């Protein structure tokens, strides 16, 4: 399965690439290929992050009930390793998308409230 991303990304200039002659930072269309195994995704309701000098590690987990009330089992469904530059880009993108989500949600709630206030009594 191939998904064409509707976004044009400024790809970060990697020091190893930008030092090479003829390589420049430019806008490119990113075509995202999703394998059959990954197309349904994984559900995660918990994550853990770790940082080393050279990478960020994100473990996405599913919290599961346990017979022991003092223990919660978290099964890792996906582990992602990222460079610091990619992690910074992820944080910025998630902040932007979350702000957009909050604005859409607030607008939808305001529209629903205005519609319910404008409805004639039955």
Check residue 89 and give its pLDDT. 95
Alpha-carbon span 37 to 14, nearest angstrom: 30
Per-chain mean pLDDT for the chain = 82
Residues 110 and 88 in one domain: yes
Q: Would 67 be classed as within a structural domain?
A: yes
CB 11 within 8 A of CB 23: no
State the Cα torsion 58-61-72-48 to the nearest 10°: 10
Q: Give the residue numbers spanning the domain of 57.
A: 42-82
Q: Indicate if 31 and 62 belong to the same structural domain.
A: no
Shared domain check, 46 and 78: yes
What dihedral do alpha carbons 91, 95, 96, 99 form, nearest 10°?
Answer: 170
Residue 121 placed within a domain? no
Question: Does 5 fall in a domain?
Answer: yes
Cβ–Cβ < 8 Å for 2, 31: yes
Considering its fold, how many domains does the chain have in total? 3
The pLDDT tens digits of the residues spanning 65-120 come to 888 888 889 999 999 999 999 999 999 999 999 999 999 999 888 888 888 877 66
Q: pTM for the complete prediction?
A: 0.64
């Amino acid at each position: 399965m191939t998904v064409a991303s509707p976004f044009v990304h400024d790809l970060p200039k990697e020091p190893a690439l930008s030092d090479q002659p003829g390589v420049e930072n430019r806008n490119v269309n990113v075509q995202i290929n999703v394998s059959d195994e990954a197309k349904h995704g994984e559900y995660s309701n918990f994550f853990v992050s770790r940082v080393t000098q050279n990478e960020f590690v994100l473990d996405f987990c599913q919290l599961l009930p346990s017979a022991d009330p003092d223990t919660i089992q978290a099964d890792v469904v996906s582990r992602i390793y990222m460079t610091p530059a990619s992690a910074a880009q992820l944080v910025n993108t998630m902040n932007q998308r979350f702000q957009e989500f909050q604005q859409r949600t607030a607008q939808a709630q305001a529209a629903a409230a205005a519609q319910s206030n404008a409805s004639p009594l039955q």
